[in-house]
Structures are given as structure tokens and as C-alpha cells.
Amino acid sequence: MGRGYDSNCYLIVDEKTVLIDTGTGATDSLRERLKPWAGEIDLIINTHAHFDHVGGNRLFDAEVAIHVDDASEMESGRLYGTSELFGESASSKADVLLREGDVIETGELSLEVVHTPGHTPGSVCLVSSRGHLFSGDTLFSGGSFGRTDLPGGNTEELLMSLERLKNTRFEYLMPGHMDCVKEGMKHLEAALELLRRSL
Ligand SMILES: [Zn+2]
């Protein structure tokens, strides 16, 4: 669970060790908690190029994967204006460019990439073969969703992305902030209703 402004970070220990998002990198808590695996992380997957999700990439010597549409914002360190928002910048190289439908095999588990623009143009959700939806800032528990008022944000696209998520199968919602919950589809329905009403 992320602390302060850190995003949630999810560590998958399988044949490959994969870390989904890395927080701001500005707090010691993530580094401390991930210390036992720090040298063993093979791949970082960033759900999108905001500072509070990619800032910690620099703490790890691992390949970095991000959707092709968010790669240049991450590499340049512009991060859709979130560098200014947090008063800090971080850039990292995109080693793997993700696209809709890509599947990342970690060993026992596989993660399918669903492109869900709206919060940022290259936001992705990852659907695991065991029924997890790693949703970044596209969808949160409690029926809320990511902001669209930052550069690159688009509310209509977010609505379409949330609607597309209804076609995916998942039980556990693992969002970029806030709690992980079961019965994820109910949280998706609630977010869709709220977003439709706000348009
Ligand atoms: Zn974000």
C-alpha cells in the first residue's frame, strides 16, 4: 500500500519478479519493504507516466515497460505536468513498449495489457490470469476513478475505457491508490455510474 503520495506498488514473485508501479521514490518506506527483492526485480511495469507511479523506477536495476503512448512523457521527465505538481522530476528509459493485447508471462501467472486512455493517453490496466485487475489510476475502489484535468487527460476517453473494462474478467480490483477489494466489477459499475452523472 502506498504511503503519503506514493502509488500502491504490487510485487509479483514468480519465475520472473515483476513490480507494478514504483511510487514517488521519495520515501524510504518502499525501498525498505522491497529490500529483500531489490536486486531481483526483472521487470517494472508502469501503469502510466505520472510521477507518483514512476518516480521510484530509479531505485531498481530492472527493465521498464510502459504503454507506447506514455513512453515519451516518462523518458523526458515531463510526466504530464506531475513533476511540477510534486516539485520533483524523474525520467526513466522505456525498455519495453506495451500495446493493447500484449501478454506478459511471469511464470505461473500472465498479465494481459488493456489500453485504457483517459487519465493519461497511455494508461493501461493489467488483467491477471488469476482474476486481478491492476487498474493504475483508471479505476479506484469505492466507485471512483482517476482525474482527467491534468495534461493529456480526457474524460470521454476515460468513460469509454471504463466501459471496455466491463468486457474483462476480474474478481480482485488492485488500484493505484486506495484499498484492494473483492467483487471488483461492482466497484467498476459504481465508478461508471458516477462518471456518467458527472458528464
Ligand atoms: Zn496518475
Domain ranges of the chain: 10-198
49 Cα: distance to centroid of ligand 1 (angstroms): 7
129 Cα: distance to centroid of ligand 1 (angstroms): 25
pLDDT of res. 199: 86
Contact 132, 174 (CB under 8 A): yes
105 Cα: distance to centroid of ligand 1 (angstroms): 25
36 Cα: distance to centroid of ligand 1 (angstroms): 27
Among 134, 137, 78, 79, which residue's Cα sits nearest to residue 104?
Answer: 134
Task: Give pLDDT < 70 ranges for the chain.
Answer: 1-4
144 Cα: distance to centroid of ligand 1 (angstroms): 13
pLDDT of res. 74: 97
Which cell numbers in the block locate residue 77?
Answer: 521527465
Which cell numbers in the block locate residue 52?
Answer: 507518483
Structure confidence by residue, pLDDT tens digits, 15-52: 999 999 999 988 777 778 877 887 899 999 999 999 99
130 Cα: distance to centroid of ligand 1 (angstroms): 25
47 Cα: distance to centroid of ligand 1 (angstroms): 8
Burial 12-31 (b: 16+ CB within 10 A, else e): beeeebbbbbbbbbbbeebe
Determine the Cα–Cα distance for residues 177 and 101; give it in Å rounded to an integer: 24
> What predicted TM-score, i.e. pTM, was given to this entire model?
0.96
Q: Which CATH number fits domain 10-198: 3.40.50.280, 3.40.390.10, 3.60.15.10, 3.40.50.360?
A: 3.60.15.10
Determine the Cα–Cα distance for residues 169 and 121; give it in Å rounded to an integer: 23
